[in-house]
Chains A and B, each alone.
Chain A
Amino acid sequence: MKTTLPLTIAVVCLGGAVLAAPETFDFKDPKGINNAGFKLDAPLEAINGSASGVSGTVTFDPADPASTKGKIVVASNSLQLPNQMQMHHMQGEKWLDVAKFPEITFESLSFKNVHTDGDSTTADVTGLFSVKGNSKEITAPVKLTYLKDKLGQRLPGKNGDLLVIRSNFSIKRSDFGINPGQFEDKVSETIEINLSIAGASAR
């Protein structure tokens, strides 16, 4: 009896650890739904676009969401606008210079103010945001939704889990050398970004 209880506790803890192991989610979406939207104020009409070239990995432990870490990558040449001429200017040398800087990245450093309710976790994520070769530490609110065993519903024939990440934040284009101080009466300094992405962890 004296040795059985510690052994039982050890087995339960080990079992719990196995069940709550961190998973790595891949955000390259074969369905092409993952996207990062962006918006800039401008005269007459706001500039609204989206980028679909999302990839990256995030490691998430449902039992310990605060330990989440990862890196999301957006291909800068996947940023699109409803006007092709405007889009080519945006991707050009003066603005995003996609030929020279093919990736926009966010790498997490820490998660704070973590609150979990069911399968949803909200937190403030601090990380390094990099655009056009310039990096800045930013903090953004994020919502993580862990969908256990739902990968098969999204991609038939596959087994695993999904992690949905949603976040809305803004950056200043001058912080990242995106044509700083130029055309501020035509294209606002502030860029609003909304991220809606789902990653898969296959078993």
Chain B
Amino acid sequence: MTAKTIRLIALMLLAVALWFWFARGANRGWTKDRQPRQSTDPVTGLVGVSYENRFVPGVDFLGAACLASSFLFGISFMFRNKQIST
């Protein structure tokens, strides 16, 4: 595995994490694994809250992805790129 490959993997990891974060609503709070669902009772006007399982990545998820990507990028310097002989 070359340094270039590892850096590419690092970049893809960051890109996928960013895409996933955006796709799940770009939550700027903490990561959640449940979402509240509201339902209104038409007779009393009260709003009930129930929870459904749904993973919503937050800034801590992005932070972890950045850290992992940076780590991979860092260790890529321990590998050599293929030298093309002329």
Listed in ascending order, the chain A residues whose CB lies under 8 Å from chain B are 31-35, 37, 44-45, 48, 50, 52, 80-84, 145, 147, 150, 153-154, 162, 164, 196-198
Contact = CB atoms under 8 A, between A and B. Distances in A.
A164 B44 CA distance: 7
20 contacts: A31-B41, A33-B41, A33-B44, A33-B48, A37-B49, A44-B29, A45-B29, A50-B36, A50-B49, A52-B49, A80-B34, A82-B33, A82-B35, A83-B30, A150-B44, A154-B43, A162-B43, A164-B46, A197-B46, A198-B41
Contacts of B59: 44
A120 B48 CA distance: 21
Nearest to A43: B30
A3 to B, nearest CB: 48
B36 A82 contact: yes
B43 A84 contact: no
B31 interface: yes
A82 B34 contact: yes
B47 interface: yes
A35 B49 contact: yes
A196 B33 contact: no
A154 B44 CA distance: 8
Nearest to A82: B32
A168 to B, nearest CB: 14
B86 interface: no
B32 to A, nearest CB: 4
Contacts of A50: 36, 49
Interface residues of B, number: 22
Interface SS majority for chain B:
strand
A51 B30 CA distance: 21
A80 B36 CA distance: 10
A31 B31 CA distance: 30
A32 B50 CA distance: 9
Contacts of A153: 43
A150 B43 CA distance: 7
Interface string B10-51: 000000000000000000111111111001010111111111
A33 B51 CA distance: 12
Residue of B33, B36, B41 with most chain A CB atoms under a 10 A cut-off = B41
Interface in B38-86: 39, 41, 43-51, 56, 59
A83 B46 contact: no
A67 to B, nearest CB: 23
Contacts of B29: 44-45
Contacts of A52: 48-50
